[in-house]
Amino acid sequence: MRLVAMVLVVLFISSLTVYAAAEVEKVTVPQGAEVVLIFDKAVSSKTAKAGDAVAMHVRDDVKISDKVVLKSGTKVTGAVAEVTGQKRYGVNAKLRIVLNPVQSAYDGTLTLEPRSKGRQVGGKKTNEAAGATAGGAIVLGPVGLAGGYFIRGKAVQIKVGDQLVTEVSKTTILQR
């Protein structure tokens, strides 16, 4: 009788294990999946220092095959990694932010990076400074080269509510 009871217990536990294994839901989040973040705190290249905390949240639910992998409002944190102030000759300031992995709606995290990673953008002031320098050199010779010196680049000013378009940096398999 004991042997029959033990066999029944083992079979019951085995069936629970098979049932639990069948319930595991997996979703593959592809590299490049877009995640739009909203800044919760202002950041400026004039006052930011490397190591300063940056607070954001996910703007919209991120869905893969109709499954929500990141919920709207999910907190995202990061840190200022590097700040380069504005310079003469119209060179704009630069502010580099590193994002921490984000907890998904499943078991696991997603690593995000800015969508325009590594992209350098020249502004109107940079073009004006180049024009002033070149024009000054043509008209006034070496003395005219100083014309671009007086045109300063712009600071980076991120306001509360500004958005940052990011993407998943590597394909990730999540499960729950």
**What residue segments make up the domains of the chain, in order of their start?**
27-175
Q: Which residue has the higher pLDDT, 137 or 152?
A: 152
Task: Tell me which CATH homologous superfamily contains domain 27-175.
Answer: Type IV secretion system, VirB10/TraB/TrbI (2.40.128.260)
Contact 125, 151 (CB under 8 A): yes
- Cα–Cα distance measured from residue 25 to residue 46, given in angstroms and rounded to the nearest whole number: 47
- What average pLDDT does range 122-138 have in this prediction? 42
pTM for this entry: 0.67
- pLDDT, residue 142, reads 47
- pLDDT, residue 13, reads 55
- What average pLDDT does range 152-163 have in this prediction? 84
pLDDT band per the 50, 70, 90 thresholds, residue 61: very high
